[in-house]
Amino acid sequence: MRGAVRSSAGAASLPDGAEAIEIEEIGPSTDWSNALQNMHSVVHLAARVHIMEEAAVDPLSEFRYVNTAGTEHLARAAAKADVRRLVYASSVKVNGERTMGVPFTEDDEPAPEDPYAISKWEAEQALQRISSESGLEIVVVRPPLVYGPGVKGNFLRLMQWVEKGIPFPLSMVCNRRSLIALDNLVDVLVSCVEHPQASGQTFLVADGEDLSTPELLRHVAEALGRRVRLFPVPPLLLQVGAKLLGMGGITNRLCGSLVVDSCKVKKLLNWRPLVSVEEGLQHTARWYLSER
């Protein structure tokens, strides 16, 4: 097993026994030769992800440089190195930002909205072109929000707020959101590497226990040994107020629904989640409390 890392510090995150290969910035000219030598399969996880305070003048170009051009370049290098299969971690955001009563499926017309999602969808299309030209087997996995040890972004912020006892005006929210624990995501990626029927497929994956935001907050609080404080505010009023304060994006995710149908991966690869949401959140909480 071999892992590509940006620095020697990144090697600490690799499994025991894995060889670390340092690479330069990911883009259309990255040298992958040492990392790909004698490799049978590649799992591509690296990406330019959501930037909390975007400073780029042209964010789409920045996302495309890493996520689209960088992925395309890696795939071509992999095909040249006789790699058999590349598993690509894309995003459910390729499907869209929200569901309205009907879960997303792999057959839905892609509807990416922000620069990150657009770059991911363009990368998927590039991978399919390379596969048809070279025979490189491609598997695309679109996860929703991923949580687990090392989680960052809004989920980490949510845990910090719960631990501090900050009250949430969310008790009237009746949404549903799909999540996936890191343990489950890793397991399904391994299945995509190994299973012969995964080749050429796109999969939506999730824990299978869709939660409302109040339910998620209660689960997080329980895992942290805290009590969550919820109070009622009509969701429409909450969204209007948040938009005026420049927090519309976060509030849309807290109040809106995003549900995926994982039946395809379960049926085709006979995959089942390794851990429940409760177990996944407990793992995440133990890591969070140990890092304080």
Catalytic residues: 116
Nearest of 203, 83, 84 to residue 141 by alpha carbon: 203
Q: What are the tokens at 206?
A: 């999730």
What are the residue ranges of helices labelled H in the chain?
A: 33-36, 59-63, 70-80, 115-134, 153-164, 182-194, 213-224, 235-244, 248-255, 263-269, 277-291
Q: What end-to-end distance do the CA atoms of the chain give, in Å?
A: 32
User: What is the number of residues in the chain?
Assistant: 292
C-alpha count within 13 angstroms, C-beta hemisphere, residue 262 = 25
Q: HSE of 10 in the Cβ direction (CA atoms, 13 Å)?
A: 13
Return the SS3 of 142. strand
Region for residue 189 given its phi and psi (left: phi exceeds 0; alpha: psi -120 to 50; beta: otherwise): alpha
Q: Are 138 and 202 a contacting pair, CB within 8 Å?
A: no
Q: How many CB atoms lie within 10 A of CB 245?
A: 9
